[in-house]
Structure 1
Amino acid sequence: MTSLSLKSAGLGELGERTLRKVRRRVMPLIVLLYFVAYLDRNNVGFAKLTMSEDIGLNAAAYGLGAGIFFLGYALLEVPSNAGMYRFGARKWLARILITWGIFATAMCLVNGETTYYIIRFLLGAAEAGFFPAILFYLTLWFPAAQRVTVLGIFILAQPISNALGAPVSGLLLQMDGIMGLHGWQWLYIIEGIPAIILGLLTPILMTDRPRDAKWLNPDEREWLATTMDKELAVKSSSGSHNFLSGLKDKRTLTYSALYFGLVCGIYGLGLWMPTIVAALGKFSTAQVGFIVLIPYSVAAVFVFFWSKRADKTGKRAWHSAVSMVLAGMGLLAAGYLLPVNPVLALIALTAAAMGIYGAIAPFLSMPSAALTGAAAASGLALINSLGNLGGFVAPYAVGLLNDSTGNNQSGLLFLSFCLCVTAVATYLYARKRPEGDAALDPSVAATAAVTPDSTHPAKIS
């Protein structure tokens, strides 16, 4: 079995100390930003519990509006990432945060289907570029061999946001009538404002590139800049890495299609979870929030464990595929258990959440390892753009199925099918590719072999 731990990758004491300091400085802000992003795009799932009746939305209309977010997101994803590459992460992420915070708060103005669709579209357009910008930003700070664990820490924001946001959203819905506003309006206002505040703070707290990191010692700064430059040189020697090449790369299109299937599971479950849980019994909105917390809390623990294991073994394709199969089986079981036993159905949904969120970090580490430089910025943007169309298709499809059948079972079976097919396709495509198995990646061995001040020899066994 391949073993690629920090030490076995030949980092040495200087490298380990530097990356430890980088993780402590970079990751808390990154996780916080993604936490807020995920809260603002998914809180519509909780708002639906009371908003649908107030403004007259059926399940299909809710699903369409929830998914329209991703149309705006997809249309502006690549142009937005071009702006990030041109102006730098600090300025561009600040722009994204402030504009999406404004539209997330403006969701309180929704008064019918039309305004619901328009503001959800504008929210997606405003947030476009955020996720691939963060992925690209991480490629500037962490060598490929350590990136799955880092991505795992980043992805932790998704289940944690759902876990913590669920009870908070459930409680906010009970603010009905305060100052003449509905509870769902207070939910959008209170959960939208933090993005604006963080947008004002990001230019102060974030550093664009390793050579600008005054918070690193000179030897640490030089080690990191040199290491990342050498890794880029090794990868760049095998092909073009300008901005347009990332859009034309066949790997980009393949990973876009695969990510589409994974995203169907992510948002199909995330945007409908409160509704599914509410169907398990007669619960208040606050009780629904605390029940939804359970599967996401367990998933957060699993994500951390699974990402570290993927990093240690280097088997990214295998870990992605197995996790998606777990998710698919969990959704399949939940579909059949919903009418039979609520407790067992919740356990199945927990397994589904574990699988869905556990798959994200090892999956995304593959295209981020395959693409470099400006090609990574454009390629990751296109993958996220096309892949996130699954966030439009899945909620809408589930809504249509729920309306036509009168239950949640058919929608869960649809999501299960998407994930299982994607799992098989991902494994067959990536298992013998360098980005799918780190043992086949020449840049990992090359970087380890030439790392400055390395006290540990490279070890790939």
Structure 2
Amino acid sequence: MPATGEQQVAIGASAMRKAFWRIIPLILVAYLFAYMDRVNVSFAAADMNADLGFSATVYGLGGGLFFLGYALFEIPSNLMLVRFGARQWIARIMITWGLLSAGMMFVTTAEQFYILRFLLGVAEAGFYPGVIYYFSGWFPPCHRSRAVSRFYIAGPLASMVMGSMSGWLLGLDGNSGMHGWQWLFLVQGLPTVLVGLVVLRFLPDSPAKVEWLNPAEKAWIADELARERRLIGGAVSHNVLAIFRNPKVLLNGAIGFTCIGAFITFTLSAPMILKAATGLDATGIGYLVGFGGLIGTAATLWLGNRADRHGDRLIHAFGSAVVMAGSLFVMLLAPSPLTVSLAYLAFATVSFSVAMLVSSGWADALSGRELAVGAAAINTMSQIGAFLTPFAWGALADATGNFDAGLLGIALMMTVNAALIWVLRGQVRGQVLRAVPAAA
């Protein structure tokens, strides 16, 4: 006898509860180290730049080159993930980038800085869109924002960890003949290799291959994902070049370009901006950034849950983008220690949520192999923004002697970002796939 509606809800709730607990914590830890290895250079920047004689332009170019390497190898990496499987490929990504991140401690010249940042981006390419693709095989749409938000909090959590650790690590300056920033890269890089090995051993491949789901739970996941594919319709194209002609991919890419470009640019220089505006030392800045990470974690979880229940991810993304833009304008126009600190905390509260909410909807519009290629294409455009904007920021800082022009530029980028999200919402509103939410 077929299961009743109430029984289906109970089966779905059980399946999702198991999947969340078996998958999300491991992906969360992996992304935590990914984000730390991506932006730990922001905490090292002041001392490293002084020790090695790097200008703002050199630092901005090096900071951005990570994202150029990421962008160029995003699609190839995701195609390899589809071929070899998420577990093997995500583990490979983590092991290589952990080694390269620790290798940053050996940098002595601008050229070495450029090369290692570029290679670090190449190593990490495909991680985030790969996870989105992997989740599309586990979590139906009514659970997807929560699933993404629960691993996306790794970003603000990393800010907490780095904020609490970085002052201490930089304080090791002179120990064993090493600078404090060298200790920072070493201590925050090598553990990523160990996490990669854990992923290789324990990350499940697919619902059909695990023993901890019963047949009814496996069937429920398969049926929900099949229903999603039917509602989305057939893939527009599997061709890698044709994917860039897909309007849904292009609009999401423009949103990613503006959001990630502005977010990464500010994040790479936030400790230096806060230090100049507030007069706090490295430890104080670390605590401020750490507190921003704490409230950002709570906000990301809350917005992910609310978006799934409300059924409209993009209205929440729009509101978060408006707050980001407003906080940047406040830092520019009212640069007192108190207003800068409060505006930074407002920025930190919502800054991770925009990309999280928009990207959790990629699988609503793209399916199958198109999702793997399309997600990588969207993220490629996003990473190009993260490459170009820090370089422009550094050049403007060297030309003007301050960060005001850069702050104005990224504030305007986030204003455009909010407008683009509103346009995207108008296109997909009413097409969001709804199902009865299950507890997870």
State the TM bucket, normalised to the shorter chain.
over 0.9
Cα deviation for residue 79 of structure 1 reads 0.3
Query: Structure 1 residue 432 and structure 2 residue 423: aligned?
Result: no
Query: Structure 1 residue 88 and structure 2 residue 82: aligned?
Result: no
Equivalences for residues 355-374 of structure 1 within 5 A:
355-374=350-369
Amino acid at match of 2:365: A
SS at match of 1:176: coil
Show the counterpart of 2:390. 395
Show the counterpart of 2:68. 71
Query: Structure 1 residue 32 and structure 2 residue 29: aligned?
Result: yes
Show the counterpart of 2:372. 377
CA displacement, residues 2-60 of structure 1 (integer Å, 9 cap, x when unaligned): xxxxxx99961110111011111111011111110000010000111200011110111
Structure 2: how far apart are the matches of 1:342 and 1:335? Answer: 12
Equivalences for residues 27-426 of structure 1 within 5 A:
27-235=24-232, 237-240=233-236, 242=238, 244=240, 246-338=243-335, 341-426=336-421
Cα deviation for residue 146 of structure 1 reads 1.8
Amino acid at match of 2:89: W
Cα deviation for residue 406 of structure 1 reads 2.0
Worse-matched range after superposition: 159-168 or 397-406? 397-406
Amino acid at match of 2:192: A
Query: Structure 1 residue 20 and structure 2 residue 17: aligned?
Result: yes
**Structure 1 gap ranges (5+):** 1-7, 455-461
Q: 1:92 to 1:247 in 2, by over 3 A?
A: farther
Q: How many residues align?
A: 433
Kept after mapping to 2: 8 A contact 1:71/1:392: yes
Q: 1:9 to 1:311 in 2, by over 3 A?
A: farther
**Structure 2 gap ranges (5+):** none
Structure 2: how far apart are the matches of 1:400 and 1:299? Answer: 30
Worse-matched range after superposition: 136-145 or 210-219? 210-219
Kept after mapping to 2: 8 A contact 1:32/1:157: yes
Cα deviation for residue 247 of structure 1 reads 4.8
Give me the identity figure in percent.
34
SS at match of 2:280: coil
Structure 1: how far apart are the matches of 2:202 and 2:230? Answer: 29
So what's the TM-score if we normalise by structure 2?
Answer: 0.94
Structure 2: how far apart are the matches of 1:334 and 1:284? Answer: 19
Structure 2: how far apart are the matches of 1:212 and 1:185? Answer: 43
Cα deviation for residue 208 of structure 1 reads 1.3
Kept after mapping to 1: 8 A contact 2:164/2:286: yes
